[in-house]
Structure 1
């Protein structure tokens, strides 16, 4: 029962964090691109589309920084303390976002969205909590369910905004704030109090500066994990960021049709996440490699520019992506947990955020030539990652037993 409550709290936190990150996508475009002047789209006389781009980008920037520091902070100060503080802070961030929209204050909205993203980078803390408190196959299922909850959030966020924005543009933000307060209450009731830090914790700023997740890359195996995971997530983020534009280029899809395609993708990822927690045959590195190659194959289906083949790739992408994340997170928790589960999960999350930024920059150039180029680049990077995962796995297999060392599958 205790494990069930822990898993439920972590999944609810992941769901609401991704809902909060995706809420503004259907709300902001009309505020900035409708041609109706307001305090948001007239800030300092800057072009409305530039203001819109900053408003969309600022939350992921916060997520990048939060993913890098919140996990290590939880290693030092405790999971419960960090989850409570970030959950309550994110709820306040959504409330301030709503107030900024009412006041039509662009600077306040930007600050609120950045801080909310920073605090919603606590997904690494939730994963570390599950990795630390749950062992064996149950851990694999728990991490898979948490990933599925996050995928559902990316589907539910825009839907929530679309359904409730008719009652007022701020209503979705108030709902998200209230829900996060509820999750904070569940965390407070479910998690035991954190033990006092040993040997003096130091200030939170000192810990964040000296023990952020990227410090782990100084270790050879963790550096290899970072490189392979970065290549794979560059392929994943190239797909996430540019398949909507591909649909517009190839079939002139409108926002509603793109939303339907996205529903198919998110639904498939959520379903596959439930399955990923039950399948664990074979060494983890080799399974990660095969799933990475599956991701590369799905993304490559968009390369020829055929609509129905591409739609198949969009939906099927959700299967290997869900399995890859479940396998790698479980394996990394087993193999590198001695470095601190918060730091390890933070490294994986930070890598994904970094890949988002890198592929956005690459896509800004390649899409000027052809949108398919950035998708092909993503497929190539994912395939390279897959082959190197397989090679790494072969190196780790003892000749006699054929079992991967140091893993409890």
Structure 2
């Protein structure tokens, strides 16, 4: 977990901000009774809300319903199931809407104030009976300590829960932003590329909240890739209930907006690293840091090209300092650069090693390289020498286990 000055990392997940309860239960969508498969988050009062959605043309039915529900920028609850994506089904929208109705009835809230999401296998009909029969149980299980159970209930092939919460000061008031996410496979840039649900007790107008979320997502979730597949269902949503008592943030020009945006970045950046590090079958988190690009956009193109290169990802799994694959990925990225200025450094807790200078190889110790690449977190530093543009992207190695996991995912 990376810390930032002025921000305090706190526990509690999505329940860390004031006025949020959460819960997760096993309802029966998933056959394994040991795995929770239905989650709920609820605020004590109506929230300003915002969301971003997958750019895949095939969109899960829950996304279409949530988009409709959030047209007024308001929400108070989230219901989400794992084990079935409710995508590419003729009755999908009706069932996603029914999930909102079920949650609204259990919580005594208008159904249009509910955010709905599903994750799991595509193309299988979602049975509502398990959700109907466990909705009251789920609502009764809601607690101010239930964040971890909710985070557990949204997992699919993930190996661990992904939760981050940060506390900070806004105009003399203590505010908190928290998030829980799932994502291990079918992860590729162009948000939303995973499910993420965020809560905050800060008071912020929904249009300003949307601006903050969209901006931060471009530098975090949109810079993550596990396998090059952009999912059909995924989105990131945030609810702000204002219970911290700070003056309403209603302008992107204010100092308070910048403080809020920085805190949101800390949450989503750490969740991005968790998702990349927990990629299906992954053994290493890869972070590509690009500096000296002609501008930010070109830096992003290069960083993403490196961490999405299957050949490079395989080399990292094999702990092979095959830096030529990095240069190859930079070269076909279509970014604006002078390849003769490129410098590449491999780095980890075991040290740093320059492997390329001025676009050509330099002598280095293979023993030192092997030592560096044995670590679980590898940083690839690319200096371009063309300007001030910089960007960071996150990915993981490509392993035998990735194929094993996805070879029989449905069966």
* TM-score (norm: length of structure 1): 0.25
Q: Which has the higher strand share?
A: 2
**TM-score where L is the length of structure 2:** 0.25
Larger RCO, structures 1/2 (Cα 8 Å, 6+ apart): 1
Higher helix fraction (1 or 2): 1
